[in-house]
Amino acid sequence: MNKTNIKKIIEILKNSYPDAKCSLDFASPFELVVAVMLSAQCTDERVNLTTPNVFSRYSSPESFASADLSELEKLIHPCGFYRNKAKNIKACAQKIVTVFHGEVPHSMEELTSLPGVGRKSANVILLEAFHIPYGIAVDTHAKRISNRLGISKEKTPEKIEQDLLKVIPKESIQDINHLFVWHGRKCCTARNPKCISCPIQNFCPKNL
């Protein structure tokens, strides 16, 4: 997959999904941190249904840091893996309060030092909360589409991200994950992809 075709693919996807954006609801950087952590192995839709109750009870890193763990577990229960997520959210809040003076850090190194925050999550937080397109968040959609298009043959998110960064124009880094997510949900699904109606079918090795 060469850079010329990549640019064409991005242009087509932008035209196909002009409203592509982050699906998680949040009103502050820390709310995004919590929402991203809850989204692991859970749909964004479910997270958005859950977080209003969570944020009405806990409204700041300080309140999360002192939260009763069992109460927090009950509030986030619908998102699955609630015990581990609650533990990480509280520990994350405590570190933000004690180490970062209550402010969500905005560097990859600092964000990934937080409990429960990996590189993919940090990429999302940097982009959506601070408008810093540092890297590319490789989720299940980005992985599937990158493999199917032949952009990357790798299996791990870290290696796929590096392959993407080699060919994705810098000005498109901020858009590519949104475009892949929307295309993955609406067309290039894991099972029974809608190849006949796919707007980028001419660039897919399956059709060449």
Residues that are catalytic: 120, 139
Contact residues for 111 (Cβ-Cβ < 8 A; gap 6+): 104, 105, 117, 121, 122, 125, 126
Backbone angles phi, psi at 125, to 5 degrees: -65, -45
The CA angle 108-158-178, to the nearest 5 degrees, is: 75
Distance CA 45, CA 197 (A): 25
**Which position has the token pair 């990934």?**
112
Length of the chain: 208
